[in-house]
Amino acid sequence: MRDRKVASRYAGALMASALAEGNLVDVAESYAAVLDAVKDNQDLRIFMDSPQVADQEKKDLLKNVFGDKIEILLLHFFYLLIDKNRIENTRDIGEEFAAMVEKHEGLVRARVTTAVALPADLAVSLTEKLSVFTGARVILENKIDPAVIGGVCVTMGDQILDGTVRNNLDQLRNSLEKAPMR
């Protein structure tokens, strides 16, 4: 169940705590590693989400599995999620937290859709141009979609820069449909 308000509130609290302790990047990296570990382990997910399992058992498991590998702040944050019956929101909170950390660090994600894989030299060039355009450091994510035919479509947040052949053909078709016939 997704509840963005809850995720945003808890992620904001974790962000404030990590900033106060001065270990934001470490907490963010550890959180991402925990999410990866939980994603790959269905038994752990079921155990943590189960209302039949006592809260203390969940805390003990977290301490045994992650205790010496993650920051104590993050471990206590997970304990808080267990106490507040919000442990099932861990992934949503983690996604919100990662987005907040990226924003704080001056990073912008750009999803680039092309018909074929973007060559490394073009990816570097596009990253540099997008960095100048946004005034931030850009993380490029390449998505391949043969339907674009050619060109590139860049999505950054709510901005879309569409220079694909498919988009140009669609615009041409729309303008020809609206053109008066003699």
Half-sphere exposure of 55 (CA within 13 A, CB side): 10
pLDDT of residue 2: 65
pLDDT in tens, 85-103: 999 899 999 999 999 999 9
Assign 48 a pLDDT band (cuts: 50, 70, 90): confident
CA dist., res. 14 & res. 24, Å (int): 9
Q: From CA 152, how far away is CA 147, in angstroms rounded? A: 11
- What pairs with residue 112 in β-bridges? 142, 154
pLDDT digits (tens, 9 = 90+) for 70-89: 999 999 999 999 999 999 89
Beta bridge partners of 152: 114, 163
pLDDT band at 182 (very low <50, low <70, confident <90, very high): confident
Q: Which regions of the chain carry the CATH code 1.10.520.20?
A: 4-103
Q: How many whole angstroms separate alpha carbon 147 and alpha carbon 142?
A: 15
CATH of domain 107-178: 3.40.30
Tell me the CATH number of domain 4-103, given options 2.120.10.30, 1.10.520.20, 1.10.2020.10, 1.10.3210.10. Answer: 1.10.520.20
